[in-house]
């Protein structure tokens, strides 16, 4: 074990900005001055483990192959720092082909690794490449839309070395050298009419979007992810009716469609009309019990409401939000069997659970789908409350034009009823969402620990923590588990101070999609 210096006792915000933190028990002065919530101070005596994986990997790759890993890392990081120039780099400088991965002298393929719940067999050799691929299939894409089709492209077909294979490998080892090669391959495929319409080209773009979600550090706009999503939309338009012919094509198209609709919601723009027509045709051929089919109408309406509110902040959009909320409640009562969950009795729930509430789901994917529905409800109640609590005179005048369904009530009475409804709904949503946390935890000799798919909890937990509408105990519970999740999965973005800014929707959705 190597001594890497004395850990700082400052709060997270001060550590990131290298500021002098006064460590006041109620919250440091720097955070108070910047109007952000102080995350508290870590225990300097606690055991901390520094991830030396990359350093060790480079050391042994260099020793085994005799090539300079340092120069390779330098090229990779310089490419990351200047993404506009990446495509201009010579292939010889960035190529790190998996075919040259180091194999033990015996050359024997060990017993395959059987991935849980995926029915995937991954042949393992004692090399960083194979181990990273195994981890990617067994952990990162588990309970995500990628689980349904990525293994088929990588494991069930011969290795062709095309852009799709390179994209999957790039995500598995998070290496920018391979990422550049993948982007170049996508550009070449997109320019060719024959290859632009292939399933592998669209899958390549989606996996590159996953790569951007994994390496994204938070606190900025996810422009690279958005660019890949916009590229997927153009490919869907190019592919035409042929993408409905096979189940695999429909699955990939549906995944791309959901990412596009999420992107529209995040940017507060309506879903394009031609794309709505395409999406209706796709859903008519898709499994009606598939999550994307269930969620699509909700996503269309949310995107429409957000776009209308941005263009013309009409308080009567509250009625659209209330109608959608009723649709979500109805949907929650008529979900397919694979989404049905049980509410555990209080006596069987963990003692640490919020309000001793704990849900039992068939699998992590069902829990993630339910949390997606709850995210829509989060948006709706926050949207309604923003109209009901105007901060300026113009907004108050607009609220006076709110139409009242019951003529026997005054505007004041109706607004108070809505506020009470929002408060009650937010409490229910927060409780239900926090009750899913046990699904994403595993127990070992060291206690509770989040599993990799718990990345999807970052967005909803951050909303619970940051919203003033959430009950205070729920906010504190969410903050504690975000801190725990950030440590278990090495995701500093989960506790990034920027999530307290107004731009929280600009990037936290990546954790849910990735």
Write the DSSP string, 2-45: ----PPP-SBHHHHHHT------TT--HHHHHTT-----B--TT
DSSP H/E element including 322: helix 317-333
Chain-wide mean pLDDT for the chain? 75
> Which two three-digit tokens encode residue 214?
């994994």
DSSP E strands in 319-433: the ranges are 342-343, 359-360
Q: What percent of the chain shows pLDDT beyond 70?
A: 68
DSSP E strands in 85-132: the ranges are 113-115, 120-122
> Which two three-digit tokens encode residue 482?
């975000």
pLDDT value, residue 241: 75
Rg from Cα positions in the chain = 24
| pLDDT single digits (tens) 420-438 | 999 999 999 999 999 999 9
DSSP 246: S
Q: CB–CB of 147/367 below 8 Å?
A: no
Q: How do strand 447-450 and strand 441-444 relate by DSSP bridges?
A: antiparallel
Q: How many residues does this entry show for the chain? A: 514
| pLDDT single digits (tens) 274-320 | 888 888 887 777 777 777 777 888 888 888 898 888 888 888 999 99
φ/ψ (deg, to 5) at 286: -90, 165
**Domain parsing of the chain, residue ranges:** 1-45, 66-276, 313-513
What gap in Å lies between CA 81 and CA 320, rounded to an integer?
A: 44
| pLDDT single digits (tens) 109-147 | 333 433 334 454 545 455 666 666 766 776 567 556 777
φ/ψ (deg, to 5) at 252: -65, -45
Lowest mean pLDDT among 42-46, 375-379, 421-425, 506-510: 506-510
| pLDDT single digits (tens) 383-395 | 899 888 866 656 6
Contacts of 343 (CB under 8 A, 6+ apart): 357, 358, 359, 360, 435
Helix, strand, coil percentages (3-state) for the chain, rounded to 5, are: 65, 5, 30
pLDDT value, residue 90: 33
* Class of the CATH-defined domain 1-45: few secondary structures
**Closest by alpha carbon to 248, among 114, 167, 151?**
151
DSSP H/E element including 61: helix 53-65
φ/ψ (deg, to 5) at 113: -90, 120
Look at residue 443 and give its three-state secondary structure.
Answer: strand
Look at residue 360 and give its three-state secondary structure.
Answer: strand
């Amino acid at each position: 074990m190597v001594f890497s210096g004395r850990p700082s006792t400052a709060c997270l915000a001060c550590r990131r900005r290298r500021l002098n933190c006064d460590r006041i028990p109620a919250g440091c002065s720097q955070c108070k001055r910047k109007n952000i919530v102080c995350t508290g101070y870590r225990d300097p005596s606690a055991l901390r483990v520094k991830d030396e994986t990359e350093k060790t990997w480079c050391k042994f790759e260099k020793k085994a192959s005799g090539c300079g890993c340092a120069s390779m890392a330098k090229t990779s990081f310089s490419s990351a720092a200047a993404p506009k120039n990446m495509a201009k780099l010579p292939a010889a400088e960035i190529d790190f082909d998996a075919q040259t991965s180091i194999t033990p002298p015996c050359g024997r393929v060990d017993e395959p690794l059987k991935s849980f719940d995926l029915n995937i067999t991954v042949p393992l050799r004692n090399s960083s490449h194979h181990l990273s691929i195994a981890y990617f299939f067994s952990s990162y894409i588990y309970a995500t839309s990628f689980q349904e089709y990525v293994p088929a492209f990588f494991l069930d077909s011969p290795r062709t070395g095309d852009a799709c294979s390179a994209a999957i490998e790039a995500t598995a080892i998070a290496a920018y050298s391979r990422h550049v090669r993948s982007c170049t391959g996508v550009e070449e495929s997109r320019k060719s009419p024959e290859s632009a319409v292939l399933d592998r080209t669209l899958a390549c773009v989606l996996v590159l979007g996953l790569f951007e979600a994994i390496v994204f550090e938070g606190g900025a706009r996810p422009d690279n992810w958005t660019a890949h999503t916009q590229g997927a939309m153009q490919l869907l338009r190019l592919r035409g009716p042929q993408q409905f012919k096979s189940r695999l094509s429909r699955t990939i198209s549906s995944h791309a469609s959901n990412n596009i609709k999420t992107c529209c919601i995040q940017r507060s723009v309506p879903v394009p009309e031609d794309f709505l027509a395409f999406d209706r045709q796709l859903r008519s051929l898709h499994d009606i019990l598939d999550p994307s089919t269930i969620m699509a109408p909700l996503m269309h309406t949310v995107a429409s409401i957000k776009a209308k509110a941005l263009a013309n902040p009409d308080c009567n959009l509250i009625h659209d939000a209330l109608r959608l909320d009723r649709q979500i409640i109805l949907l929650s009562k008529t979900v397919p069997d694979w989404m049905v969950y049980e509410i555990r009795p209080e006596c069987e729930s963990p003692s640490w659970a919020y309000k001793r509430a704990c849900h039992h789901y068939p699998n992590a994917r069902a829990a993630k789908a339910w949390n997606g529905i709850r995210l829509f409800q989060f948006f709706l109640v926050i949207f309604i409350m923003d109209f009901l609590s105007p901060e300026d005179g113009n907004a108050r005048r607009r609220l006076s034009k709110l139409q009242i369904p019951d003529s026997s009530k005054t505007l004041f009475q109706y607004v108070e009823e809505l506020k009470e409804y929002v408060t009650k709904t937010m409490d229910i949503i927060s409780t239900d969402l926090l009750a899913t946390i046990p699904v994403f935890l595993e127990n070992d000799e060291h206690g509770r620990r989040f599993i990799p798919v718990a990345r999807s909890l970052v967005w909803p937990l951050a909303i619970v923590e940051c919203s003033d509408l959430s009950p205070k105990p729920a906010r504190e519970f969410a903050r504690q588990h975000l801190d725990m999740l950030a440590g278990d999965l090495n995701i500093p973005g989960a506790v990034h101070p920027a999530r307290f800014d107004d731009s929280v929707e600009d990037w936290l959705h990546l954790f849910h999609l990735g």
